[in-house]
Structure 1
Amino acid sequence: MKAELHSAEAYRLEALRRYDILDTPREADFDEVVEVASAVCGTPISVINLIDQGRQWFKAEVGLGVRETPIDSSICAHAILQPDLFIIPDTTLDHRFCDNPLVTGDPRLRFYAGALLQTAEGFPLGTVCVLDYKPRELDETQKAFLRLMANQVMKLLELRRIAAAEHSARLRAEEMVSEKETLMREADHRLMNSLQLVQSILAVQSRSASSEETKAQLDMASNRVLAIATVHKQLHLSGSTEEIDMGDFLRRLCESLKHTAPAQIDAIDLTADAAMLRSDMASGLGLLVAELVTNSFKYAYPLGQHGNVAVTFKQGPDGWRLEVSDRGRGLPAGFDVDRSKGFGMQVVKSFVRRLNATMTVSSGPERTAFEIVSHRE
C-alpha cells in the first residue's frame, strides 16, 4: 500500500530543501550513525532515509548498496506520518506492507523500526531506521538508542544548515574555514557524547542482566560502540574531512585500542603505509580494524597465554591490502567464514562489502590471519 502524503506536504518538502542535503556525497559522520545503529540493534540493514518528492533518498546506509528507491514501495513514507518510533515486528502480518514488493520479493524485508527525523517546526523529513530479513522486536535500550541517533542526525543537519547560511551571508573565505572547523568540532563533541551515553546505557543494562547470555550480548554491543567512538575520535584528530593519512590514522587507532586490551595482549604491532584515502573509506577501514582487533583480544589468547596482534596496511598501484593477524590458538576446526552466522563475523563481512573488497581467512597452529584486499573502483 502506498503511503498518503503528509497533511502539509508542500511545507514539509520546503523544509527538507532548506537543509540542502539531498544528493550530497557520503560523509563519515552520517556513515558512523548507521554503522553503530546496525551494530547495537543487531540488524543487517540501517539507513538514514529522507523522503523526497517521488523517491526516498539515503544519506547513509548499511546493507542496501543503493542511494535511493521509489516512493511507492517506501516503508519510511508511512513512518513519517506516525509520531515517535514506528515499528513493524513482521511486515507480512501488516496489511499496509504484506503486498509490498520489498516484502514479497527481494530483499524480503520482514522487520522495520524507524525513529523520526523532525524539524523544530514539527515537519518530518525522514527516519533513522533499521531493518531485518526476519521478524523480531527491539528492547527498550535499542529503542532509546534509535531516538538518540535521530536527534543526533538532526543536530548534524542543523549544523550544516547554519554553516551554509553563514557562508553565504557574512563570512569571508578565510573565516569560513575557521567556522567550519568550529562547527565540525561541535558536531564531533556531540556525537562523542551520544556514543558515550549509549555505552553507559549498555553498561548499566549489562550489570543488571538476568542471564550470562544477555550480559555477553550487551557487553559485545558496548565494545562495538567503544570501537566506533574510537574510530570517530581518531578521524577527528587526523584533522581532515576529505582525505586521511592512513599511516597516522591507524597508528592513533591502534594506540587507543591497546588501552582497551585485556592483560594477555602485550602489544599491537602496526605496519602501515602513509597512503591518503577518502575519509569515508578511512572510516570503514578503521571500523574493520577495530572489529578484527577486538575479536583477537577476545578469542586469540586464553587466560595465562600472552601474545601480540599484528595490523598491516599496504597501498599498491591496484589498491590497498589490510591484514589483521595473531599467533594465538586459531579458529575452531571446520570454521568457514562464508557460512559463519556469528554476529561479529556478520559485522566484519558487512564492512568488507561496504569497502568493495574481498576477504580471505587462514588459520593454523601458529598463525591466524584475516586479509582484506580492495577492488579497483
Structure 2
Amino acid sequence: MSAKRTVPENRNHRVFVKADLHRAEEDRLGALRRYGILDSLREADFDEIVKVASAICGTPISVINLIDHGRQWFKAEVGLGVRETPLDSSICAHAILQPGLFIVPDTTLDSRFADNPLVTGDPHLRFYAGALLETPDGFPLGTVCVLDYKPRELDDTQKSFLRLMANQVMKLLELRRISEAEHAARVEAEDLVKEKETLMREGDHRLMNSLQLVQSILALQSRRATNEETKNQLDMASNRVLAIATVHKQLHLTGSHEEIEIDTFMCRLCASLKHTAPAQITAINVDAENASVRSDVASGLGLLVAELATNSFKYAYNPGQTGSVDVSFRTTASGWILKVSDQGQGLPAGFDVDQSKGFGMQVVKAFVRRLDAAMTVSSRPGCTAFEIVRGSN
C-alpha cells in the first residue's frame, strides 16, 4: 500500500510519512469498538504481558497499542508513562498495514520514519518490532510492540515470543468481548422478564376488573329477578365469577409467576372468601403446609377451594345454624392432599358424587381432572369432607 508525504502542524515543520488508512477503516474501527476495550482501566493481565515482553526482548519500552480514530491508545505500557498519543506520528499505524511481525531495526535508515518527530526528537526511538493484533475475521486492531533507543535485532526466540504475546492479548480481548456480550444478553433478558412481569400484572389487573364487572352485573340481575329459580342460578353464577376473581387476585398478590407459597396463598384466598360468606359462616379455618407449588397448580387448588367453600356456604348449614369451613393442605412423597370440610347437615341421603349431574359438582370434578387428581367424599350429619389427592398418600 502506498504512503504519502504530509506536513504535520508542528513548529519544526518536519516532513514525515504518515500511514495510509486501512482499506476498510470504518469496519476495522467498528471491530475495535466491539471489544469495549478503549479507555478502560489498567488490568493486571495486560500489564503483565508488556512487562514480560520488555524483559524477554531486552527493550526499555513495551506497549499494547490499539489504533483508534485520530489516536493510538495504550491498553498497557512500560517505559512511556502515557496512555495515548496522536496518530500522525504513529509507527504502529504503519505496522497494522503489514501482515504478521513488523520490524524496523533502525528507524533512521527507514525512509518512512527517518523524519518522524519521535525519531528525530524526544524520545529518539531507533528500534521497533510489533506483532499484529488481528481479529478472527481479519481486522487489525493494533500491535504488541517493543521499542528501543538504539538500533537492534530480535532473535528467533524473541520473535516467536512476541507473536505468542499478541495471540494471548487477542484471547483476552475475545474473552472480554464474550463476557460483555453475555452481560448485555443477561441485562436484556432481565429487562424482558421485567417487561413480561409488568404486562402480566397489567393483564391480571384488567382480568380482575373484568371479572368484578361481570360479577356485579350478575348480582344486579339477581336482585331484579322475580323467578326464584332464575335468581338462584344468577346467584350461583355470580358466586363462581367472584370466586375466580378472588383466586386471580390472590395469585396476583402472592406473585403469580413460577411458584407460589401455598400456605400464604390459601390464607389470603380464604380470608377473601370469608367476606363473601353469609353471616352464619363463622370462620374459614386454614391448615396449610408451608410448601411451594407451581402457579398453575395453585390456581387449580384455589378454584377448587372456592367452589367447595361456596357450596358449603349455600348448603351445609340450616337457616339459623352457624358453623365453619375447614381447609387443609399437605404434601406427600409423590404429590399432595387437599381437604375441604364442614360440620353441617351432610349431603342428601343417597347422594352419589360420581353420578351427580349438578352444575356445581360438575365444576368440582372438572377442576379435579385438570389437576390430574382423584377425589373422595365422606358425609354424615356433623361432618362432610371432600378430599382431593394427587399421587399416593
Give the TM-score of the pair, scaled to structure 1.
Answer: 0.53
Match of 1:354 among 357, 370, 385: 370
* Mapped pair 1:266 → 2:276: no
**Residue of structure 2 equivalent to 1:224:** 240
Equivalent AA in structure 2 for residue 339 of structure 1: Q
2:291 and 2:231 mapped to 1: Cα distance? Answer: 40
Q: How does 1:327-366 map to 2 (within 5 A)?
A: 327-366=343-382
Instruction: Point out 4+ residue stretches in structure 1 off by more than 3 angstroms.
Output: 168-171
Q: How does 1:289-300 map to 2 (within 5 A)?
A: 289-300=305-316
Q: How does 1:92-131 map to 2 (within 5 A)?
A: none
**Residue of structure 2 equivalent to 1:324:** 340
2:244 and 2:274 mapped to 1: Cα distance? Answer: 15
**Residue of structure 2 equivalent to 1:284:** 300
**Residue of structure 2 equivalent to 1:32:** none
Match of 2:330 among 300, 314, 335: 314
Match of 2:188 among 169, 172, 176: 172
Deviations 1:183-230 (A, max 9, x none): 111111110111112112212322232411011101100000000000
1:195 and 1:269 mapped to 2: Cα distance? Answer: 26
Equivalent AA in structure 1 for residue 238 of structure 2: S
* Mapped pair 1:374 → 2:386: no
2:185 and 2:385 mapped to 1: Cα distance? Answer: 54
1:294 and 1:211 mapped to 2: Cα distance? Answer: 22
Secondary structure of the residue aligned to 2:293 is strand
Q: Go from structure 1 to structure 2 and tell me whether the alpha carbon gap of 1:285 and 1:170 turns closer, same or farther (over 3 Å shift).
A: closer
Secondary structure of the residue aligned to 1:172 is helix
Match of 2:273 among 239, 257, 267: 257
Q: Go from structure 1 to structure 2 and tell me whether the alpha carbon gap of 1:180 and 1:341 turns closer, same or farther (over 3 Å shift).
A: same
1:236 and 1:369 mapped to 2: Cα distance? Answer: 29
- Structure 1 window deviating more from structure 2 (221-230 vs 266-275): it is 266-275
Deviations 1:241-291 (A, max 9, x none): 111111111111111111111111111111111121111111011000000
2:308 and 2:345 mapped to 1: Cα distance? Answer: 15
Equivalent AA in structure 1 for residue 258 of structure 2: E
Equivalent AA in structure 1 for residue 208 of structure 2: M
1:169 and 1:274 mapped to 2: Cα distance? Answer: 35
Deviations 1:46-87 (A, max 9, x none): xxxxxxxxxxxxxxxxxxxxxxxxxxxxxxxxxxxxxxxxxx
Secondary structure of the residue aligned to 1:314 is strand
2:384 and 2:303 mapped to 1: Cα distance? Answer: 20
Secondary structure of the residue aligned to 2:321 is coil
1:193 and 1:366 mapped to 2: Cα distance? Answer: 38
2:337 and 2:217 mapped to 1: Cα distance? Answer: 36
Equivalent AA in structure 2 for residue 300 of structure 1: A
Match of 2:209 among 180, 193, 208: 193
Deviations 1:22-57 (A, max 9, x none): xxxxxxxxxxxxxxxxxxxxxxxxxxxxxxxxxxxx
Larger Rg: 2
Equivalent AA in structure 2 for residue 310 of structure 1: D
1:214 and 1:222 mapped to 2: Cα distance? Answer: 12
Equivalent AA in structure 1 for residue 259 of structure 2: E
Q: Which has the higher contact order (CA 8 A, sep 6+)?
A: 1
Deviations 1:284-319 (A, max 9, x none): 110000000111111111221111110010101021
Equivalent AA in structure 2 for residue 344 of structure 1: G
**Residue of structure 2 equivalent to 1:11:** none
Unaligned runs of 5+ in 1: 1-167
1:195 and 1:211 mapped to 2: Cα distance? Answer: 25
Equivalent AA in structure 2 for residue 263 of structure 1: A
Equivalent AA in structure 2 for residue 200 of structure 1: S
* Mapped pair 1:236 → 2:213: no
Secondary structure of the residue aligned to 2:276 is coil
1:304 and 1:222 mapped to 2: Cα distance? Answer: 24
> Number of paired residues?
209
Equivalent AA in structure 2 for residue 309 of structure 1: V
Unaligned runs of 5+ in 2: 1-183
Give the TM-score of the pair, scaled to structure 2.
Answer: 0.51
Q: Go from structure 1 to structure 2 and tell me whether the alpha carbon gap of 1:276 and 1:170 turns closer, same or farther (over 3 Å shift).
A: closer
